[in-house]
Structures are given as C-alpha cells and as structure tokens.
Amino acid sequence: MCGIVGYIGESSASPMLLDGLKKLEYRGYDSAGLAVYQNGGVKVVKTKGRIADLEQKLASSAALTGTVGIGHTRWATHGAPTDANAHPHTGGGGRVTLVHNGIIENYIELKSMLETAGCCFVSETDTEVLAHLFDYYYKGDLLTAMRKVMRTVRGSYAVAVLAADKPDRIIAAKKDSPLIVGRGDGEHFLASDIPAVLKYTRECYLLEDGEIALLQRNAVAFFDKDGTPLHKEIYRVTWDAQAAEKGGYAHFMKKEIAEQPKAVRDTLSPRIADGKIIIPELHLTEEEIRAIGKIHIVACGSAWHVGMAAKYIFESAAGISCETDLASEFRYRNPIIRAGDICLVISQSGETADTLAALREAKRKGAHTVSVVNVVASTIARESDDVIYTMAGPEIAVATTKAFSAQLAVIYLLALHFAKAVGRLSDEAESGLCTQLLQLPDAIASLLMLEKDLAALAKQFAAAKNVFFIGRGLDYAISLEGSLKLKEISYIHSEAYAAGELKHGTISLIEPGTPVIAVATDESLFEKTLGNIKEVRARGANVVALVSGEHKEVQEFADFVIHVPQANTMLMPSLNVIPLQLFAYYMALERGCDVDKPRNLAKSVTVE
C-alpha cells in the first residue's frame, strides 16, 4: 500500500526520503516520487516502477539538495501506475505539493467543482483533487487550509503537504490511514510506519484520526480538526531496526519462515505460567465468557484462514458457537450481533481497511471487540476494546508466515482460556496442554529440517498449471493457507477444497499428473481423507500426502509422503503449515518469481 515519508531539518532531504521509502517497500507499490524545496520553489521528481527507477531519474536530473521534502510510494487505485499518476501531486501551478495515502470518496464531485473554478488536472488520481482543493483553500495559513480540506473530503487519508511560500514547514494529517512523526535533534520526520524513521530516531508521535501535525525543524505542533492545539505523548520505540533486515537469508520470507519457532514462543510463553494460561490483555470476566452467545471472527487473507481454523478450535475446545467471516463481507451483510457476543479481529498489520471497517461495524452493534494484531499501536489495535499482540516482530515479506503462526498461537491460548472459563477444561488438562503448547516451537523447528525434501518436490512440480489442496476439518483450514501461499508467490493456479467436497464438481479438473496436496493429519478423519486421496489418485493425480503417525497404507496411494510429528489435533495447523510454506517458497524460487514482493499484492491493504 502507499507509503509516505517527510523530512525537515539541516541535512539534505532526499537521501532520508529515499531511505525511508525503501523501508516502506514492504507495503507494496508500483511508482515512487519525491518533492523537495529547491531554489525558491518545490521540485518534484517521480516515476512509475521501483525506487531504483526513481534513483536513476534523480541521478539524471538536477541534484535535489534541499533540506525539506516529502516522498511517496504509490499502489495504484485510481488510474494506472504511470509517471503522471505517481505522487507527489501539485495544485495551483505548484503553490501546493502533496502526497496522500488512502481514498478520497467524493473526488468526482470535488473535481468538477474545482474544474469549474478553473483548475486543470493532469492525472487520473483522487489525490490530485486533494492538491487542488488544498490550494483552493490556502490563503497563507496552512492549518486553516488543512482544516477546510478535512471538512470537505470524505474517505481515508494520510496526507503531507508543502506550500511553496512556506519553505520551513510541512503540514500533515490523517484519517483511517497510518501516519507517524519522528522527533530528531533539529529535525523532524514523517512516515506511514516506524521502520522508515528508525535509523534516525526512536522517538515518535502516533497520529490519531482527525489529527494534524505542523512540522518545523525545531518544533512540531499538533492540532485536532477544529484547530485546537493538542499535547501528544512521545512513543519510544524499544524494538530493533535490525529485526527488520534480512539477516543473511536470501529472502525476507525465508527468514520469517525460520523465525517461526521464536515468534510462537514469544507469543505463548509470556501467557503461560505454572501450567496456567493468563491473558491479562483480555478484559472479559469468567462470567462474561460464559455469557458469550457467539464469537464473530473477521479477517482477510491469511488471517481469515487463522479464523477458519479458530472456528473449529473454539467450537470443539470451548463449545462456543463461532462464525468466521471475510471482513469485506461481514461489514455489508448486516450481521446479527446479540448482547454478549464478541468479535475477534485478526490482522497482522492492524491497518487492513476491510478488517478495520468490520471491527467498527461490530463495535457499533455492541460486540465486545478483541483484536489479534502484530503491529503495535496500529489502528485496529487502538480501536479494539482488548488487543492481544502477536509477538512475531516486523514482517516484511508480503506473503505472511510468522505472523500467521503467531496468530494461531493466540487462538490456542484464547480457546483454552475460554474452555477453562466455561468449565470444559480441568486444571490438570490445562496444565498438560500448556506443556504441549510450550513444546510447539521445537516441533516447528524440527519441521524446518524438511527444507531439502520440499525443495526437491518443488523441482518436480514447478511446471504445474494447477495444484489442488485437500483436507478435512482443521486440515481443510490449513489447506486454504497452503493454496494461498502457493498462488500468491508462484503464480500457479491453485484451489483448496474440503476433501469431501471435491467430488461435487472440482474433481473434473483432476487430470493425469495434476498435483494434489492432501493434508491428512486429523486422526479422527484420516480414513475419510484417505478415501478422497484414492479418488484423485484413480484419476491420475500426483498425490503428496501430509500425515502424522505411521499410516503405512497411505504410501500405496500417495507419490510422496511428508511425515509431520503427532500432536494434539488442535495444534496440528501450526505444524502442517510449515511444509506448505516451504513448498510454496521453493516453487516460487524454481519459477524465478519475486518471492518477497509478488506482483499485484500489497502487504498492508488500506483500501476496500
């Protein structure tokens, strides 16, 4: 998704802006640009493509040496990724220059109003409307103009503005898109996310919706949308910038796959003590847990797959009815929420627009909201009643791995905590399960050793046109994730099916040689899944079976068997996902794909 950076200080702005944009690359983008005060005006350099393309363009134009500037990486929403549509955009013939992240919903009506007033547009973007609108209201006072813009536009934005006649200021504001201010010594920074400024400062201000920041070299002032000055506390970043770097691995995704034992351990261990599960962040009393009518889970993408697994887990462990929705569907289907229901929101970034909207919908309807989020102080985290952080650390690869595993870990904790509260888990059983939970990181680490086998398998299957994943119950939930990982990064068409559903249509797509990955680790359903394996094998499929336990009979019907250690059924998704991630990774490598930045995808999707 779009990334914003800004700098005001004594040093040359463009190196910081480029460096900051690179740190935001993980958000996904298709064009990039900078604007810097230079020789009495604002000079803009922008291009479609990667930041390297922008650097090339900068090298071939007059050097940008100014000490105040803004930068942007754009992920196209209105208009194709072109030079003209790239940010920054200007209004009033260069009087105003701005960058924006988000969507201006009423841009069409605003555009026609501005055209009537004489503005000429050179791009197809909603952002250019914002630039002209700012100029339209700008009569020499940045704060007044920003407040008028905020009153006029509908939609989401993080925005940073330079005015040609105010070379010592940057004004910025946000609503529904993230923005932070970094405080330095005689300099200030602006960014969509903290990693962009960590090289320069650990002191940040986190802007809330409707807030405005006015940056100068030696000062920053904050205002609410009515222009009232605000006092904001500094947020001191304690985590390490190193954690966001590749650390010797070929790809961030590979590094993050390897970090899963740690991510799961860091998420579980602070919440387990003396054989008991403690979740201090959860403010539901036992009585309130017993009164839960339904758990509504909302999420997108891989986080939704965690939600799919969670449905099976909550219902079987705690006996609480659970419904898992795609956030983009939930928000528009007028969900029925009754007193006592809770809404569990799962999101790595904590910024996904659909998930945030679903959270707000659930809140509006009276649900107690609990979020499972990886990014500290992200919008979803801030707006939920309770937030349980996954301790996965920054995840850079677009395709999630370690955050997914950490989310599953939180689900286990919650399910057992609920089971205890409703009287379905004895002290003894809780203690036993805590031991098993604490063994999970080692079991995950042992599965990472399968790397060579999966690399070899990928060599054989790299030319496949279609790959199917099948499974039942929790094995189905993890099949969904295995299939998504594969298509996200290797661009191979893939589908995941509940194994019993295949025969109701999709089996017609199985041809001789079609790879079918069968996840068959739920012992209680093994015979059934084996039956489905036989069905596809009889139609010529090349079967890879994931089994736990011995199951010699499977060798007769599968071309490859992957043995996963046996664990409590509830915990199997955490183990099964590892070979599926490695398979997708090596398939993508074999096919020469950009593993960390798959085409058309964004890490943090802040539009509907």
Residues that bind ligand G6P (CB under 6 A): 300-303, 347-349, 352, 355, 398-400, 601, 603-605
> Do 124 and 79 contact (CB within 8 A), yes or no?
yes
Pairing relation of β-strands 560-564 and 542-548? parallel
Q: Which of 48, 175, 597, 603 is flagged as catalytic? A: 603
- Phi and psi of 209, rounded to 5°? -55, 135
Calpha distance 314→129 (Å, rounded)? 47
Name every residue whose Cβ is closer than 8 Å to that of residue 331 and which is 6 or more positions away in sequence: 354, 357, 358, 361
Determine whether 420 is an active site residue.
no
Question: The tokens of 74 are what?
Answer: 């754009």
Instruction: Select 187 or 386, whichever has its Cβ closest to ligand G6P.
Output: 386
CB of 402 to ligand G6P, least distance (A): 12
Which sign, positive or negative, has the C-alpha torsion 67, 73, 78, 82? positive
CB of 258 to ligand G6P, least distance (A): 18
Nearer to ligand G6P, 88 or 307 (CB): 307
Q: Give the residue with the Cβ less far from ligand G6P, 145 or 297.
A: 297
Select 302 or 514, whichever has its Cβ closest to ligand G6P. Answer: 302
**In which element (H, E) is residue 538 found?**
helix 526-538
- Compute the distance between CA of residue 229 and CA of residue 231 in angstroms, rounded to an integer: 7
To the nearest whole angstrom, how small is the minimum distance from the Cβ of residue 304 to ligand G6P?
Answer: 7
Q: How far is the CB of 50 from ligand G6P (least distance, A)?
A: 18
Residue positions counted in the chain: 608
Of 128 and 481, nearer to ligand G6P (C-beta) is 481
CB 178 within 8 A of CB 379: yes
Beta carbon nearer to ligand G6P, 569 or 604: 604
CA dihedral 249, 252, 258, 261 (to 10 degrees): 140
Catalytic residue among 2, 204, 322, 434: 2
Report in angstroms how near the CB of residue 407 gets to ligand G6P at its nearest: 8
CA distance linking residue 170 with residue 163, whole number of Å: 8
Active site residue 262: no
Which sign does the torsion angle of CA 20, 21, 26, 27 carry?
A: positive
- Give me the least distance between CB of 477 and ligand G6P, in Å please: 14
Q: Which residue is nearest to ligand G6P (CB)?
A: 301
Residue 127 C-beta-side C-alpha neighbours within 13 Å? 30
Query: Pairing state of beta strands 515-520 and 466-471?
Result: parallel
Active site residues: 2, 603
